[in-house]
Amino acid sequence: MMWRLMLSMSSLFFSLVLGAIMLGFVGYNSPETLSQLLGWARELKSLITGTGLDPKYNIWVEVLLEERQLLFMFFTIAARFILGVLGGLVGMMFGRS
């Protein structure tokens, strides 16, 4: 039980670190791509905040949600996907399902 919890927490930690590394890698090697991704994050934020949500809730979404956070979430989710695929492959190699 404790082993599964530690494995899950380490997976979450490594996905955050890998997501930050991937974000930095894209920003360093391809700044125009990162700029385009930030533009898409801006459009996504405006889409989320323009849903007609009650203003007493929407103001908190506008204040707390930033483009950089959305972009970091994208890279973190991509890293979780990569780690999941790699973990599945390692599990298959050792006969676990």
- Binned at pLDDT 50, 70 and 90, residue 7 comes out as confident
Q: What pLDDT, on the 0 to 100 scale, is given for residue 81?
A: 95
Cα 75 → chain centroid = 4
Q: Return the closest-CA partner of residue 77 out of 60, 85, 47, 33.
A: 85
Domain assignments of the chain as residue spans, ordered by start? 41-68
The model scores a pTM over 0.85: no
CA distances from 47 to 29, 43, 61, 65, 76 (A): 29, 6, 11, 12, 21
pLDDT tens column, 39-57: 999 999 999 888 888 888 8
pLDDT of residue 42: 93
pLDDT at res. 97: 54
Please give the pLDDT value at position 51.
83
Q: What is the largest CA-CA distance in the chain?
A: 53
